[in-house]
Amino acid sequence: MNWPLEAFLSFIASMAFGVIFNTPRRTLLSCGLVGMTGWLIYRVFVLFLEDPVQATFAGAFSVALVAHLLAKRFKMPMIIFSVAGIIPLVPGSKAYNAMRNIVENNYLEAITFASEALMISGAVAMGLVFAEVLMQMVFKQMAKRIQKKIGMTQN
Amino acid sequence: MTQIDETRRELALDCFLLAGKLLMENGAETYRVEDTMIRMAISQSMTDSHCFVTPAGIMFSPSDKLATRFVRISSRRTDLERVALVNSVSRKLVAGELELLEAYEELKTIDRTNYMFNIWLQILAAATASGCFLILLGGSWSDLPFAFAFGGTGFIIVETILEKTRVKFFAEFVGALAIGVLALLAVYSGYGNNLDTIIIGSIMPLVPGLLITNAVRDLMAGHFVSGLSKGAEAFLTAFAIGAGIALVLSF
């Protein structure tokens, strides 16, 4: 596989989705970066673990993590950055194959593809949630530490 | 004195509801809408306010003595620029950088202005995304022009029908059907190589990505009504696309 090409294409695709969803102009590049991160991490995990479900989890997790950091940096809702980045991880081809096999009366194959698609969309959801919980814990800890610092300087 | 308080309170309520309506109409998560409204209310010293947000309407009760207000949300689309703008207005109001009246005026301006990218730029973006996904999902370079053209065409069809009929399900069905027919023609005429990758690449711009992310986040935050209804909308969209493609493949 061709790493620079994939990085470039996923960057452009995520930016294009940013345009479709009308994200603010100055965040378009960051949206592209988020999408690129998610896709590359997904590809690396597919290469080493050969399990698309775990790879999708890792990809979605990193997308949400980067989106949270960018949201703090830009002071904008996190959703602006995560939406475009999630799109490449959506199991479009699995769902398509499931549909195609149903139409061709290959129900057993269709079930295989459909359950894979279901597992992958579940992995996307879990990745998003885990990153969110992690970031909340980290930010709470940071807020506590800052409060402690202020309290100590006051004393 | 009480008269002034009354008008100011009405203004504050109008302001919160407009902010909530704008956020919900343009694709924010339910928990963000609630959070924004409550924060704005606290900044205007309404400390025991409650609000209940669903994708179809927002109820806001300023306190247990005052009347509850309701606003209906009839149309939803994705415009993240507006979400960011409303978010920054509410931040400024909470930080005390804006007066209530200024914030209300600014929200009204946001409501009136059209922030969407030029429609041709959107179509170009959809076409580009289709082309990129074709290659990313393992398609061959010779199929690239087909995915580019069909992705753009599908997007145009969906947007036009959505504008004319306001029935999202139908628009997506017809868009997917058109993509399927075009891809089939391209492959049968001998110019296209792989039917599957062309179709998958071209339907990518129609995938309900925002709805899926929002549904998951709402469900996890405990907003089951909104989470389930957004999930249902995402499922219906996916089903419409699948049905359009399946109809083509069955011939």
Tell me the helix, strand and coil percentages in chain A, rounded to 5: 90, 0, 10
> CB–CB of A13 and B136 under 8 A?
yes
pLDDT at A125 over 60: yes
pLDDT at A89 over 50: yes
Rounded distance between C-alpha atoms, residue B176 and residue B201, angstroms: 12
With beta carbons under 8 A apart, name residues in chain B contacting A79. 27-29, 32, 80, 83, 210, 213-214, 217
Reference B79, options B154, B155, B28; nearest CA is B28
> CB–CB of A92 and B204 under 8 A?
yes
Rounded distance between C-alpha atoms, residue B215 and residue B227, angstroms: 4
Q: Is the pTM of this model over 0.80?
A: yes
Bridge partner residues of B52 (DSSP): B59
pLDDT at A6 over 70: yes
With beta carbons under 8 A apart, name residues in chain B contacting A92. 133, 137, 200, 203-204, 207
pLDDT at A153 over 60: no
Q: pLDDT category, A44, cuts 50, 70, 90? A: very high
> CB–CB of B84 and A9 under 8 A?
no
Residue with tokens 């949400």: A64
User: How do beta strands B57-61 and B50-54 pair?
Assistant: antiparallel
Rounded distance between C-alpha atoms, residue B229 and residue A139, angstroms: 30
Question: Residue B10 carries which DSSP code?
Answer: H
pLDDT at A155 over 70: no
- Strand ranges across the sheet with B57-61: B50-54, B57-61, B69-72
Pair B27, B214: CB distance under 8 Å = yes
Task: Residue count of chain A, please give it.
Answer: 155
| pLDDT tens, N- to C-terminus, chain B (251 residues) | 456 677 888 888 889 999 999 999 998 888 889 989 999 988 888 888 888 998 889 999 988 788 888 999 988 888 899 999 999 999 999 888 888 888 899 999 998 888 888 889 999 999 999 999 999 888 888 888 899 999 999 999 999 998 888 888 899 999 999 999 999 999 988 888 888 889 989 988 888 877 877 888 788 788 888 889 888 888 888 888 888 988 888 87
The minimum CA-CA distance between A98 and chain B, rounded to whole Å, is 10
> CB–CB of A13 and B128 under 8 A?
yes
CB–CB contacts below 8 A, A to B:
144
Q: pLDDT category, A30, cuts 50, 70, 90? A: very high
pLDDT at B10: 86
The whole-number average pLDDT for the span A64-80 is: 89
Does the CB of B29 have a partner CB in chain A at under 8 Å?
A: yes
Mean pLDDT of all residues in chain A?
Answer: 88
Other beta carbons less than 10 A from residue B32's beta carbon: 24
Q: Which of A5, A10, A15, A17 to mutate to test the interface with B (most CBs of B within 10 A)?
A: A17
From A13, A84, A128, residue closest to B133, measured CB to CB = A13
The minimum CA-CA distance between A154 and chain B, rounded to whole Å, is 23
